[in-house]
Structure 1
Amino acid sequence: MIEDKTIPLDQRREILTSLLSSLTAAELRALYKRCVNNSNGKGDKSEILNKLMRYLFCQRCIDGSPYFTSPLFVKNFRECCSKRCRLSSTHLQALFRVYRLETLNFDSDLLSVRSGWNESQLLS
């Protein structure tokens, strides 16, 4: 079994910022809209992050292994036939480490890192 490790808040922010920075401005805008859909921007942080995970990875990759950091998951990601996975395989372990932490602070400033848009502009 893979053990969870506590990652300091600053490091969590840095990891997620790096992941979101890899997206284009258009992808980031679409991703944010999709994450807050049906929550009026006030959704539970873990629920929003779950939506983020579901958007970034196709169901085949999500279902490929009980642990996203496993070699099987990485293999499935690289061989994904649906072409829906949005991040490079080098980001998989970092994203999963962030995703597993319930206390992740999913702030709008992280979502605006690539585009420079603020939350109200992203929702428009």
Structure 2
Amino acid sequence: MNKRGVTLIELLVASVFLLVALIILAWGLSSSLKASTNNYILNQANILADSQMESLRALSLGTSVNIQNPNYCVNNGKICFNLTAVRSKDPNSSCDILSVTVSDTKSPPRFKDINLQSEACQ
């Protein structure tokens, strides 16, 4: 074996291994960033659904409300959702039915619709 230096073939093999490692690292970082972004969007949708449910609960018993906002945006308009919030009288009891639905405006959607339902009674 020649001990005077590194041959061209050895350099090419080492370069290929380094390139494969860098491609795998870049793919992993890209996947991680996409998952983090999707989790952030889902968290924002859950916060919106919870706050709308609390707004419906704050209304007095017997108050009917039907809110439909097809383009509810957060984060300076960068993330938008479809929002539906309904409070209506339950005909079978003395309670009100509360329902909140938040869905994604993107196609394909980044998360399944969030549906919250509850009752408000005296």
Coarse TM-score class (shorter-chain normalised)? under 0.3
Richer in strand (by share): 2
For normalisation by structure 1, the TM-score amounts to 0.26
- RCO higher in 1 or 2 (8 Å CA, sep ≥ 6)? 1
Flag the structure with larger Rg: 2
TM-score scaled by length of structure 2: 0.27
Q: Which has the higher helix share?
A: 1
